[in-house]
Structure 1
C-alpha cells in the first residue's frame, strides 16, 4: 500500500516531514502493517519534490508535477501536500478528480476549508492536520495578549514576508486583535523572499520605540533578522514566527547570537514536551532513527500523525475504499504527538491551548544557554518569558 509524500522536499519543513512519514510507516510495519479486514498490509512511501517553494517555479509547474506523480505512482493517499498556499488550492482539483485522501500539513491558507465547505462532495477527501493561518493568527494573538497582560506592552512594529500566508496572518491579527484593543501599530513592512538585510526596519522600530517586533517569515535568510536584532541590543522583544529559529540547530548555525527571541512552534511534537508524553515519544523516536533532532517547527508532527490517522481509518473500516476512509477520517479522534486530533466541518484539525481537547501550537524562547524553553500556553509552559535588558513597558 503506497502513500505519497508530495511537497517541496528541499525545504526544512518538507525534508523533515518526509522523514517523519517514513518513521511512522516503519513503526506501523514493525507492528505487522495495517489491518485491512482479515489481512495485514504493509505500507510504503513514495515521494516527489513539487519544488513549489522555489521562486522560479510557477504554480502551474508545481501542480503538473503533482499530477504526473499521481499518474505514475500507485499512491492510494497523499500526505504533506504542496508547500505554498498558492499551489495547494489548484492542487485540490487534481486530488478531487482522483478522489483519493490527501492530508495536507504545510500550506496554511484557510481558503482550503472554504472550498471544502462550499463543495463538500467535490473536495471531501481533502483534510489538513497542520496549522492554518487562522490558527496561527489566534496563537500569535494569544501571545500578544499575554505580553500585554503580563508586561503592559501595546506598541508593535510588524515585519513580515511578502507572501499570501504571511499577509493573511498579519491582516487577521490587525483586524481581530491589534486594532480593536487599541494597540499602537507603528508600521507594517513586508519583505520579498530573498531578503537578508532587515537593518532599515529594525532601525525604524527602535526610533519608534517598539515594545514588540512581530515577525512572520518562512524564508531561509530570515534568521538574519534575529542576528541583526541581537546585534542592535534592541529594547523591543522580537516575537513571532521565523522558520530558521525553530530547530535546535539554530543556536550553532547562528553562532549563539539568537538568545531572547520568541518563536512559534506550529505543532507540538516538533518540540518535546514535559506535559504531553506522545510529543516526546515522537520527537525522541525521530532523533533515535535519524541521529539528529527535528529542525522544522511546522510539518513533521502532523505528517507523522497523518500516517497514523490513515492507518486508523483503514483499520476502522476494514477497507481501502476512499469514501469509507474519508468518512472514518471525518470522525477521527486520536491522542497523538500534537495533542488531541479531531477535524472540524472544513476538514481542518482543531487547534487550541489544552492538549487534552485539541492540537496545540506553542511559543518558545531561546535562552542564553542555547535552549528552547516553552513559555506559552500555560498548559505547556516550562519557564517564564525573559525580557531584553533594556526593555521597558
Structure 2
C-alpha cells in the first residue's frame, strides 16, 4: 500500500519535514499576514515554463523550480494558492518539505551567516490548475547565474515521476498525488548529476495522438504549445536553448485497446498516425534548435509495441539526415510504483541510460 498523507494536518497548515542533511537547523514558519517581507524582492532564476507576474511565478508544468541568492541568515518566501509539494533546499542541501501549504508568507531562519542560494522545487503534478510561487525576499540580494548545461524533458507520467515514491502498486488518487515526486524522477536525478538547468514538459496520461484509454484532452504535442494548460498563453521559449532533449512518448497511445468511435479504424492506422505525428514533433524540436541532441527512450511494455513504434520514428529521422539522435529501449524495470509506474530506482536506471548517451557525446554540452 502506498504511503498516505495526513490529510487533517494538511488542511490546517503546511507539513514541515526537516532534512537531516541541512547545513543548519533551518526553521520555516508562517509570517503574520499584517507583516511585510523583511527585505526587497530578489531576482529569481526560474526553471521550467511559467509566467512571471511581478515577482510571482505562475506555473503548471511539473518540475518547476525557483532560485534566489542573498547574504543573510534568513529569507522570506511567498506561496500562492493551489495544492503543491515544495522541496526547500539551502546551498544545495535539503532543508524542509512543505505539503499543501496555506497561501502566505513564510520565513526561513537559522541559515547561518554568509552567502546563500535558496532553491524551491515543485515535486507534485498540477494538472488541475496553475499554482503561484514567489517571491523571495531578503535584505542583501545576490545574483544567481543560470547553469551552463540545459536539458529539456518531454513525456508522460513516466517523465513526471507519477507515484514513483510509493510502497506498492495499488494507490488511490490521493495516494498518487502524495507519492509523485518529479524531483526524484529522471529530470531531478539528471539535473543533479550534470549540474544542469532543466525543464519538464510532461503530462500524465497524454500521448502523441491518443491519450490513455482514449480520454479526451490535448495530446502532449498540442499541449506543448502553451505555457499553461488553459491555452491562454502561447509558449515563449526565447532564451531557452537546451543542449539535450530527452523524449519519451507512446505509452498512452498503445497501452490500452482501441474503442469504438475513436479516430482510428485499427491498430495499423494508429501506428501510421503516431509515426507521422511523433516524427513531425521531433523534427520541429530539431528545426527550432538544430544544434541540440535528441535522446528518445521507451519501455518494453505493451509487448514491445511502444518501443517498436518509437524506434521506427527515430530511424525515419536518421534517414532524413538528423544525426544527433539516440534511442534506447528500457527493459527490466520493476514498475513497482503507483498503478504499475516506474519507481525511483527505475528512474535511476532510465537516468543511467540517458547518461550513457550523454557521456558518449561529451561535446554536446559545448553547443
Using structure 2 for the length normalisation, give the TM-score: 0.32
Q: Quick check: which one's strand share is greater?
A: 2
